Every structure is written in structure tokens, then in C-alpha cells.
Structure 1
Amino acid sequence: MSFEKPYIRVAVALPVSRTFTYEVPEPLRSWAMVGKRVLVPFKNFQVTGYILELLSITHQTGVKKILDVLDETPMFPASMIPFFSWIATYYCYPIGEVIKGALPGGLNITHVETVSITDKGRSMLSGPSLNGPDRMVLEALQERGPVRLRTLYKDFKEKFFPQTLRRLERARWIVRERKLKPGRVRPKMERYVKAVEKRPSAEPLSQVRRRILKIVEDHGEMPLTALKGEVSTAGALVKKMADDGFLILFERGVYRDPLGERILPDGGPPDLTGDQSSVVERLSNTLGKGFQTYLLYGITASGKTEVYMRAVAATLERNREALVLVPEIALISQ
């Protein structure tokens, strides 16, 4: 939670090994929380940083102020910071880059440098005195409008291009601008359904459609996926019921957990089947007896993951370590 402290310790998403202290302006202090991203000044740039700690005081001088808090909710919990720090130390890698790599790509704000022609540059094109690479670059900018600097470098691979660009800029025939480009990640949308208040009589509806209508009425509104969980054929029927004036389909932005699905507490580990018990017993008996390899075969949803978890638990009870690799990030929450 936020305690509206005036300073924060920030890891910037750059290849620098240390963290930095920034001041949080008064209007932003209630938004500053560990795990959120912030936009901070860094030398001549504006970069994305991650709040690692809230600070009441600092003995540093000349502390810069953050420019903005970029998130409504934290991107990671405070409990993840020791893990990020361990990775940074063990692999000799900047902690800001570690956090950036742990979160989905496309979140961070980046800089885009563009080049455009000025009115003075256009007037030079109208005369006969300009030729060679200067004219080539100015003609390209006049025809295409503002162009990303990186694109120009690709288009003009000749060795003269950097010198040409500096010469045109000194003459004020072109202007370079550095702009912030927002992240590519967009809100995750989920389809919802709700009942129409003034709708036709439900008498002509089939039994399944009346059941769908009753479920939606009881919930007020609900995700379409949840409705499909209660009525397997709802997906094919809801669109028709919406066309007939019984239901309304709409989209709503939902929270996208950057670290995967939330792992919700349950009533404890499930009871093992006979086959699971025998496998867990065999694995547990081999712990500490040297390197061995096992292949656990089973169809989808046969209970393999629970066997892995029991084997890991038995390993941890012996003060040993375990590493579980999964083929895709979505399986981590299992």
C-alpha cells in the first residue's frame, strides 16, 4: 500500500547496475506504490523505472522528481523484489533489466527520434544550388513527412549520411525531435452479457434459452466465459438471443496480471489416487540417492502436476532445492 512518502528508490530499465532515488511530487504521492512503473528523468532522457522502496528521507542532494506514475496497480508484489535482486546479483545483471525481462514485453515507454524538413529546408529545395546528398535527404523528408531517424539510417546507408544529417541540422533545414512512444500492450477485453430490462416475453423461448436468461438475470451481468461454464451451448445461443432483444453483449477491460494467473488458496492438497501415491512414494524414496531420471506418462488432466508438487514438497522438506520447468508461461499458476 502507499504511505505517501516523499522519496522512492527506483530501478531504471537501462543497463546500469545501481538504483536511484527520486522525489515524488505531492500530487503523485498517493499513487506511488512498490511494484509500479514510473517515468523518470535520466540524464537527457525520460525512461521507465520500477519502484522498489518508499523512503521517508534521503541524504542525497539534487534529487530529481519523477514525471509520472504509469500504473494504477503494481506490476509485481514487494515479495518479488528479493528474487529480482538475487537474479541481478547471481548473474551480474542490472536489476532494472531483470525486472523488465520478467514482465511482458511492450509495457515500457520508449523514445522515438524523428527527423522532418523545415520551411527553410523547403525553400532550399526550390533553388538550383542544392545538390548531392543534401538534396536527396531533403527531398525524401519533403515527400514522406516526419521520418524516424532509424528509418533514415536504413534508407541512406552511404557513409556520408551522419555528416549530412549534422550539416542539415546546423543549417536549420531539418529538425530532430525526440518523442515518447507508449507501450504496445493494450487492455485485455472480455465479453460480458446482461439481460435487457424491457424485453419480449420469454414464453416462446426454448428451455435452454430460458435457463440462460434466468442465469444472466440472477447475476445481473456476467462474463460470457462464466455463462458457458454453466451452459455449454451458450456461446451459440447468446448472439441470437441478443439479436432477438433478450440479452446485451458488451466488452469490458479486465485486469491482466503480468506475472500470470492469480494462484488462489484452496482447501489443501487433494487426495492422491492409488497410481499417484505409488509414484510419489517411489520418487520420495530415491531422493538423496544420486542422479536419476524419470519420465511420468499420463494423459491431460490425469494428475501429473500434483505428483510433481508432492515430489517438490518432499525435496524441500529435506532442505534441498527443486527446479520445475514448464513449457509455457500460462502453466505457472498450476
Structure 2
Amino acid sequence: MKKIGAFAEVIVALNTRSTDRVFHYAVPAALQDKVEVGIRVLVPFNNRSLAGYVTGFGFPENTVNIKEIAGVLDAEPVFTPELLELARWMAENYLCSTAEALQRILSPRLLVKGQRVVKQVHPAIQAKDLESALNSLSRAPKQAALLKKAMINPGLTRKELAVAEGVSASVVDTLVEKGLLVISPENSPRRLVRVAQTSVDSNGLVLNDGQKETLDQVARDIRQGMFKVFLLHGITGSGKTEVYMQAISITLGTGRQAVVLVPEISLTPQMVDMFRRRFGGQVAVLHSALSGGERYDEWRRIKEGEASVVLGTRSAIFAPLPRPGLFVIDEEHESSYKQDDHLRYHAREVAIKRAQIAGAVVLLGSATPSLESQLKASAGGPYQLLKLTDRIDGRPLPLARVVDMRLEMKGGNSGIFSRTLVAAVNKRLDKGEQVLLFLNRRGYATFIICRECGLVLKCPRCDISLIYHRDGRLRCHYCNYTVRAPDLCPSCGSQSIKHFGAGTQKVEEEARQFFPEARLLRMDSDSTARKGSHSKIINAFRDRQVDILIGTQMIAKGLDFPGVTLVGVINADTTLHMPDFRAAERTFQLLTQVAGRAGRGELPGEAIIQTYNPDHYSITAAAAHDCDRFYLSEMPVRRSLGYPPFSHLARLLFTHEDEEEVKKGAGQAKETLKNILAGSGKNISVLGPAPAPLSKIKDRYRWQLVIKASRRDLLRDVIRESLSSLEKGPSSIRPVVNVDINPQGMM
């Protein structure tokens, strides 16, 4: 509330900790009715005009140099007191500026564009006439499927509708000519998908006893408006998604809203379809594959109360819901919920804090919970553990077989497919069933080496091997540098330059040779680079137009295809030997998740796991679908090494174009930290400095320090105290310091 004569308290939009405080500005008479808490303004600052955020009104200690606000950037508030409190918590928790946190929260709003006229496609028939129209299209299945899609999603553009169903735009034109669809121009926001306000299945499925018991416990706190965190540990195929949706229905019934996060954009099309069939036009979608305008339009719908269910990836946690009542984090263990550059927040942590502020419920779901969540859900922990131990309708978990690829080599098979896997795939294809083949590496080959002089071709900008792709080009998957693969060794001129290792492109090539009659598709970040490609691939596989789907981790979780009866893991060891203390955990989670894609329909499933480490506990536990076995093996290792979840880590990453400068800066930081800790009595250890595993990316050298402490607040305090010293001196010669609290990776 404004005080008479008070000055506006403004946080200037600078991402520096030195300016992270409130500055007071006078409000000119012409702007008195426009300046309020929650809007952005233009203010003079150090001979520049900068944007700022109005956070309150008050009086400074000294009013000598008070300047006036130059202008107002918003017609109405763009953040609420709840989101401002969240931004301040993020600044404290992740050691960033409040302005940087607000920019992250408001990023879709900052992409605002004007309205435009689009041509929208609408059904020309009523719902009661749909069955008759579909009968008339019995010999045109693509047209029938497109008409059903248009009935559920009226208002798509011609291109959007075609992409959503995975057909050409000419199919739309044919239905227009038949009088079943109509195209009309409208002033419209740029929504990726528009839906009817009525849903087709608002009641949901009948829950089994385990699901009902789980829902009852969550519903009690939702209705009471209490802050609570639940960890839902449900095996693959146990019906977690239906629990989510019925919990959302209960939340909406209380007049509040819900956010659902998924870890991969590839999961979004299937989840969107499922959620919109349940909640219709109340669903908004937020993820990075949308254009800036599309994200803004969805942000606007959410803020104005038109959309009460938000579905998206990590950044959707900042959706401007007026009264959030439920936050669902599906596959809560996934590292993709951690932002790995700039402001390094974790969406799971942000969700819990936001729920605490709003008095909301958090539902963390996973078949393979993170060790951190598992420990917090143990006796006396802050999370309440819920379990779903059976698959829907009593379906069995897929039988998993581990194939020792060392024995395959001894038997004369040096290919990427074991004889066991080839036989299993042929068996499934003969029965008309579907197969997933999983390898968490894209490209064709993982490196190129000269067998004469030993040269490995690396990216000139990054300290990493170039990946060979089937088009004959070498690519860096970190900076996108690309060059044509040489015929001769650039070092010695030898012709003995060959590519080794396997990626998804090579799996696809060999699969076409082994299974020539099968219809194949590949799903990785190369094949899904174009907009709408995720939906096109998933729709084709769902509609049984594809027999074998080959992919990376995009296909490993969340997807639900009843026709899949076999999952083949080409190489289970790709994540196991990464230089990361979480390598075993990630291997177990990934294998369990991908194996769980099989046997989700009426037919039983099978998983074949190819590995060179068949006795490793992460692989044997995944093959047995046994989380407890894995935890009993991994927890003692973590405890003995003092790693999370039994400690907290922070990573200080130093980057600079000059290798000596970055090495010098990291060394000085170590000395600063030692001086701060000397005699403090705090149980904090500093590891390093040392080059990061990826010691150069995009022409910047990288060194790191890892700080370990028993409590998170101890980490923050010592780093905050040291940052002022680390950031002194001309910015042109000192390294950039990136702070990552509890990093999910050390690369």
C-alpha cells in the first residue's frame, strides 16, 4: 500500500550482487496512478536508463540524490507478492541477484509481442454428427483422425493441426472441401494448441486400492490448504499419472490451480493430449520449444485465470497462477530439473518453496526416486512416503535379461546387437508387436582416431571429441562446431583414420540391415530439431505406423505405448563410467525407466540389457526392478565418501579465454576460502582447484573448486563471504565465477 509522499522501492535489472538492493525513486505526478507494486519501470541509473521492478514504497535514510522514475513499462503488475518472495528466496538460496531471479520468473512476459491475425481451423459439424462423419471417412483413416483432432482442438492453424496429427496440410484442405472443416481468420494469440472448454473424460478412471489410498492422503491436505510434500514411489506402469490427474481435479474443486512438470519436451505431446482430454481448455503448456510469442500467450492465459492447469518442463514452475494449490513433479529424480547455466536453480526445490509460501501440496512422483528424496521420506523426514507397488490390472513387470557383451565378443559377434536381442526383436516383429531400442548417445560414431599416429579429432573450441554423423560431418555437441570428416589424417596424412563407438544413427543403420521389413523411426535431438517433430514421431508410433523406435533418453521415461512388448538397451554402460559420483544412480534410474516402457498393455513385456559390466549392482538391481537393492548398495558408498545425500556440495566454476588466468583465479579462490575457514571451526572441506572434466568449452578454459559441508547454509555463508574478494579487479582479466549449489553434474 502506498504511503503519502513515499518513494518507489525499485530493484534495478542488473545481474550483479553489488547492486542487489532496493533503490528509491520519486514518482512524478503524471505516473502516480500507474506506479504500483509488481510493475516494471524505466529508471535512470549511473548515467543509463534501465528497467527496474517496483517492490514497495517507503523512505530512504538519505533523500539527497533521489531521481525520478522515467516511465512505466507495464499497464498492470506482472508479478505477485508471492513471486517476489520466491525471487528473494532464490537470490538467497542460489547466490544470484533478486533481479536475475525475477527475470527468470518473468521470462515469458518479457517476450511479449503484439496480436496478429491468423487463419484458424474449426469443425463445420456438431459433436452429435461426428460418428456419422467418421463413418463416411472409413476408407480415409488420416482424414478421420484429423477430423477427431480438430473436434478436440478447435482453433488451430492449418499448419498446427497438420503437425499435431503428423499429416500434410493437404489433408486439412481435403476436409475443408468436404465441408467438414472451415477456415476463418481471427485476431488471436499465438497458442500452439487450442481446445474446447468441455472435456471428454472429466470423471477419470476407476482407481485400484493402492491408488485410492494414495489419493485420499494427498486429497486431505489439498482440501485443508496445508503445505505438505509427498514422495510417490510407484513402479513403472502403476498408474501415477491417474493419481496426478484426480489430485488436480480435487485442487480445481477448491478454487485453486495446479502445475505439473515433466522432465523432457518429448513427453509433452502425449501428456498434453492426456491432460486436455481430461481438463479441456483449462490446460496451458509452457516449455522451451514454443516460440517467445506462444509462451507469452500461455503465460497471459494463466495470469488471467483462463488456464488452471499448467503443464510443462522446468521453467513452468514459475507460471503466474493466482492461487496455486498443487505442484506435481513427475520423474522427480531427473537431473533435467536442474538449470545448468546462468541461474542454477532446481525446479524441485523451487516448487517446494513456492508451495510453502502458498500453502500448497507438492507431489513428487518416480519409479526410481533420487537418493536425496528417498532419505527425506524415511522415518522422521520432512516428506511423507506413498507407495504404489503393483501395476494397473495386476500386469507383471517386464522380465529383464542381462546379456554379457564380453561373451558375445568371445563368440565372434563384434556388432552392437547381441544374438539374444536380434532373436527377441524378430520374435516380436513376427507377432506384430512394437520394439524400443535405447542408446543414450546420438550421432553415428562417438569419435574418430588415426590408427597410425593416434590422433583423436577434437573440437577446436572445446576439449571434447567430435562426433561423427551419418551425413559425413563431424559435430561438437557442446558448441555446434561442424566440419566435414577428413579422408586423411590431418596430422600424419595416413588413410588409417576410422570412426569408433556407436550412436543412435548407427543403431538405426544396423537395425535396417537386421530387420529389413520393419518400419523404423529414430528419436533424438537431431531427428527432433524441427518444430512439431516430437509430436509427429510419437503419433506415428502410437498409431502403430512404426514397428521399431530407436532413441536416446527421450524414449526412456514417461511414454506409454501398449503395443511395446520389448525394450532393448544397446549399451547399459554409457552413463556408468562418467566421472560423477551419481553415475551408478543415473544408470540404475535410466535402465529401470526404459525397461518399464515394455508390457504396459495387455501383452507381457520383456527387456534385454546389453552390458560389459553384468555384475555391477546398478545393472543387476535395474534388471530386478529392485529399488531397495540399489539403495542398500549405493547408500553406504555415498556415506563413506561423504557425498550427498549425506552432505551438501557447491561447485565454483571459473572460466576465462586465457588458461593461465583461469588457473590463477581458481588458485586465489582456494586461498581466500582457506583464510575464511581458518579458525572458524566449521566442518567444511575444499577440493581442488583442478581442471573441470570438460576443461574447455566454446573457447573458454574451465577450472573448478568443490566445497563440501554438512549443512547447506554453511556452504552459502562461506561462498557469499568469499565472492566479494573473488570479484574484485578488472573484469577483463579475472575469470567469471559460476556458483552451483548442490550441482547435479560435475562435467
The alignment's TM-score, normalised by the length of structure 1, stands at 0.44
- Larger relative CO (CA 8 A, sep 6+): 1 or 2? 1
- Give the greater-gyration-radius structure (CA): 1
The alignment's TM-score, normalised by the length of structure 2, stands at 0.22
